[in-house]
Amino acid sequence: MKVTRIYTGDDNESHFEDLDVPLKEGVYGSISRFVPVKGVAFRETPLGAELDFHNAPQRQFVITLTGIAEVECGDGSKRRLGAGDILLADDVAGHGHITREIEGPRRSIFLPLPEEFDLAPWRA
């Protein structure tokens, strides 16, 4: 399973990184280990909304349920995230990123992570 990570590089700009969630065969399909989260928040954002350069307020997964957002990193790269896409917003410092709602309304779920969450097993 793929996750798009947005993080702050040594240049103080946001960048994308592709991660693979390790899955193992279970009784009913493949499953990952549990990821600890600190809560859940739900958001609905209207079509055409734009949030200029900003940082993630904390390390968090953002899972898009409906709609499409375009995320632009400080390095100029852009990605579109739609239904079922998972973003790990990990750029809590630096210049940040822009989020534009290009199909909507966009509904998403936010799952904040503990600071000590280790990504090493997710890197391909």
Per DSSP, the residues of 2-61 read: EEEEEEE-TTSSEEEEEEE---EEETTEEEPPP---S--EEEEE-TT-EEEEE--SSSEE
Domain range for residue 55?
2-116
Q: What is the pLDDT of residue 123?
A: 84
**Does residue 77 lie in a domain region?**
yes
* 47 part of a folded domain: yes
Question: Could you tell me if residue 122 is inside a domain?
Answer: no
Residue 59 resides in a domain: yes
Q: Residue 65's pLDDT is what?
A: 98
Mode of pairing for the β-strands spanning 41-45 and 24-26:
unpaired
Q: How far apart are CA 67 and CA 85, in angstroms?
A: 11
Contact predicate 65/110, CB 8 Å: no
> How many domains would you assign to the chain?
1
18 in any annotated domain? yes
Cα separation of 61 and 40, whole Å? 10
**Whether the predicted pLDDT of 16 surpasses 90:** yes
Whether residue 72 is predicted with pLDDT greater than 90 in this model: the reply is yes
What mean pLDDT do residues 106-118 have? 94
How far is Cα 52 from Cα 100, in angstroms, rounded to an integer?
Answer: 8
Helix (H, G, I), strand (E, B) or coil at 75: coil
Q: How deeply is 25 buried, as exposed, middle or buried, from its count of CB atoms within 10 A (0-12, 13-18, 19+)? A: exposed
Q: Report the length, in residues, of the chain.
A: 124
Segment 48-59 shows an average pLDDT of: 96
In a domain, 121, yes or no: no
Name the pLDDT band for 115 (thresholds 50, 70, 90). Answer: confident
Question: How high is the mean pLDDT of the chain?
Answer: 95
CATH code of the domain in which 78 resides: 2.60.120.10
124 in any annotated domain: no
Task: State the average pLDDT over residues 90-112.
Answer: 96
Mean pLDDT to the nearest integer, 38-53: 96
Q: Is residue 79 one of the residues assigned to a domain?
A: yes
pLDDT of residue 124: 65
